[in-house]
A and B are shown apart, each in its own frame.
Chain A
Amino acid sequence: MTALAAHARPSAQRMSWRKLAWVTWRRQRATLLATLGVMAGVAVVLVLSGTAIHHTAARLGPGWWNQTRPAGYFAWVDNVPLVLQTLPILIGAFAGAPLLAREAESGTFRFAWTQGAGRVRLLAAQLVPMVVVVTTAAAALGLLFAWWFAPLADGMAMARYSLSSVDLFAPSLAGWVLLSLVFGVLAGALIRRTVAAMGATMIGYVLLAYVTAMHLRGHYLAPLRGPEGCFTTQKMCGGHVIAGNADVLTSFYAWPDGRRLTGQELNQGTRWFDQHHIVLMAIYQPASRFWPFQWIELGLLSALSLLLAGATVVVIRRRAA
């Protein structure tokens, strides 16, 4: 047994949760307040811009977006979701990753882990309040975003399923913030270098979000199949099922019985398409599944976060103090 390991043995008297909470507050108050400050700033932007959008939409009525967009009103609307998209990344990198990495890098973890609290209890005391506060704030921000977004969805300016907005509603945003935070903590525990852990958190989050958006989200439930519309020269035929805010995963030209057109058939002219009643078929998720998908995503992200938190516990329990 090394001298360090001998010192690492926790003292017989365990520190109370109340004292741990006080220690956590003293150590994390700057990070927590800064995080909440940034989120409050985003909320102010949402309230101010949302009020203007709601006001204009109410005044001009249906079709307000088509009236205002060509003149350049609300040209910045596209940027607000992009700013919100960066929030989970920043929270994971700046609040999650340094939580354990900074202590490991500077060596102060030896002191922290030998004060009678126990390393796992100390981690729980640090992580749980942070997770509860930040995730709740993210859910509130998601609710605010839903209010901000409502006139845009009504005006068909943006689709709720669109890549830039689908993960910004309360359940999904809370899930992604939770995952990013826990992922950052795990990265810090594994890498033990603050800057490197921050970078790894950002890269990991972006990769996971990309894979989810491109390959997973559209398949939480088996997608439906139906005619998107008939692209004739004269008119759109009936059965236009993809109205509203449905998420069209893919579409293809097909015979009325649903068979896909071959490459050679695709080369026919428009008249041939009309004569044979060719339809544009779509594989899609209907608009009615939007909120179920939000809760499914929250559940999956919460489960993954629990797994990552468990992995963090395993990592720090195996590490010599």
Chain B
Amino acid sequence: MTAGVTPMLWVSWRLQRGALLVAGMAAAVFATFLVVRGLQIHAVFGLLARDHCDGPGPGSQACSALANKTGSASTVFGPVALTAFPVLIGMFVGAPMFARDVETGTQRFAFTQGTHRRLWVAGWMAFAGAVCTAVAAALGLLASWWVSPFRSPGDGPWWPGQAVTMATPVLLAGWTLLGLIAGAAVGMLVRRTVLAMAATGAAVGVLAGPAASVLRDALFSIDPVAVRTTPGVLSVCGTSCSQLVPPPWQTFGVWAHAGHTVGGWFTRPGGHLLSAAQANSIVAHMPQKVAMSDRVAGWLAAHHLVYWLAYQPGSRYWLFEFAELGALLAAAGLLAGLTVMMARHRAA
């Protein structure tokens, strides 16, 4: 006889309530911090606007005193700290979800209670996933609200970039779900709680850090908008930059307005693309007095060089948000399927 969904949900709650309540309390404490500090930041920015400190012009010294109150260190501290949330949920809720039962042998009891083990495992993951994803989305909303006063119209929706890209309702929810399911899968595979927590921390940390960065770069490189512009870094860099091996995403110090900069490159007449090394060798021949002035564009034109900048416009922001969410849901679904398969093949 197979038990119904309601008893299974009840059992899921009874089994996971400790982990979920502690995670919920930690999230509530952090949410309180976000609200309190966020209100302070919003209040200071309200004063800046009241005193007309947010427009062009020098403003009074009171403006700088006010601006100092926002504190550069606290600019994105809350949202940046929030990017650890998926890792912590994976470690403390996901990894012990099955590992602890398997380690202590109590899974034998759970798997022989009249509900098919696939349903058990899927039910536990679905229940914890729903709760954690909802909490993550709420925290993501708070993080977006926190950052909003710092963002001027020219900054665009991706500002301030990589550090807080994940701290939005959509992406934080997606990454939290992936972290949770990854933790559950690792726990089922490793069958040791502490080891599973360590492995989950490392795996989700790498996924949410370097791997996510690679994924985003790959997404951003799809069909960017290219515009002719003038490289900006030459005035700072001078001839010294030619001594360096340039990074592949050389942007020469110019960034797209209100969008995400993908990269930049030089072309010769006819659209012939120059490599970054060739571009740097050209920079090396630019006289320092030109590089330090506003005559860079004229000098480049005289040498038949055009600088292009590729970027994703701000209007595509939500497209990229949901593309990444789709990739995260697909990965989470795949890992959930693997976890169910592992449970199925495991002897009770």
Contacts and interface: CB of A to CB of B under 8 A. Distances in A.
B60 A71 contact: no
A83 B339 CA distance: 30
B237 A71 contact: yes
Interface in B189-217: 193-194, 197-198, 201
Interface of B: 18-19, 22, 26, 51, 58, 60-62, 64-65, 68, 73, 88, 92, 96, 100, 104, 193-194, 197-198, 201, 232-233, 236-238, 240-241, 243-244, 246-247, 249-253
Contacts of A263: 62
Contacts of A71: 233, 237, 241, 244, 246-247, 250-253
A17 interface: no
B237 A268 contact: no
A56 B19 contact: no
Contacts of A198: 92, 194, 197
A267 B247 contact: no
A66 B250 CA distance: 16
B243 A266 contact: no
19 contacts: A60-B244, A67-B241, A70-B232, A70-B233, A71-B237, A73-B244, A73-B247, A94-B197, A94-B198, A106-B104, A195-B100, A196-B22, A252-B65, A253-B61, A253-B65, A266-B61, A266-B65, A268-B61, A270-B61
A60 B243 contact: yes
Contacts of B64: 231
A66 B236 contact: yes
Nearest to B202: A38
Interface of A: 34, 56, 59-60, 66-68, 70-73, 90, 94, 98, 102, 106, 163, 194-196, 198-199, 202-203, 231, 233, 251-253, 263, 266-270, 273, 278
Contacts of A98: 194
A196 B197 CA distance: 12
Nearest to B96: A195
Contacts of B238: 67
B194 A251 contact: no
Contacts of B243: 59-60
Nearest to A56: B244
Contacts, number: 85
A270 B58 contact: yes
Given A231-B64, A266-B60, A273-B61, A68 B194 contact: no
Given A195-B19, A251-B68, A72 B58 contact: no
Contact of A94 (B194, B246, B252): B194
A194 B91 CA distance: 13
Contact of A267 (B62, B104, B241): B62
B61 A194 contact: no
A66 B292 CA distance: 14
A34 B194 CA distance: 12
Contacts of A94: 194, 197-198
A254 B92 CA distance: 51
B251 A72 contact: yes
A297 B251 CA distance: 42
Nearest to B243: A59
Contacts of B197: 94, 195, 198
A70 B243 CA distance: 15
Nearest to A266: B62
A278 B61 contact: yes
B22 A199 contact: yes
B244 A268 contact: no
Contacts of B247: 71-73
A70 B264 CA distance: 13
B194 A70 contact: no
The 7 A-B residue pairs with the shortest CB-CB distance, nearest first, are: A266-B62, A70-B253, A70-B233, A267-B62, A67-B240, A70-B236, A195-B96
Contact of B194 (A67, A72, A102, A163): A102
A165 to B, nearest CB: 13
B84 to A, nearest CB: 9
A60 B240 contact: yes
A70 B241 CA distance: 10
A163 B73 contact: yes
Contacts of A231: 61, 64
Contacts of A270: 58, 60-61
Given A56-B244, A73-B247, A94-B194, A195 B236 contact: no
B124 to A, nearest CB: 16
Nearest to A101: B194
B192 to A, nearest CB: 10
B343 to A, nearest CB: 20
A113 to B, nearest CB: 21
Given A71-B247, A263-B62, 19 more contacts: A34-B198, A59-B243, A66-B236, A68-B241, A70-B253, A71-B250, A72-B249, A73-B247, A90-B201, A94-B197, A194-B193, A194-B194, A195-B19, A195-B193, A196-B22, A202-B88, A253-B65, A266-B61, A270-B58
A306 B347 CA distance: 47
A199 B198 CA distance: 13
Contacts of B249: 72
B92 A195 contact: yes
Contacts of B198: 34, 94
Most buried by A among B26, B244, B252: B244
Contacts of B73: 163
A72 B248 CA distance: 10
A117 B238 CA distance: 70
A68 B193 CA distance: 45
Nearest to B80: A82
A270 B57 CA distance: 12
Most buried by A among B26, B61, B68, B243: B61
A72 B250 contact: yes
Contacts of A196: 18, 22
A199 B65 contact: no
A68 B60 contact: no
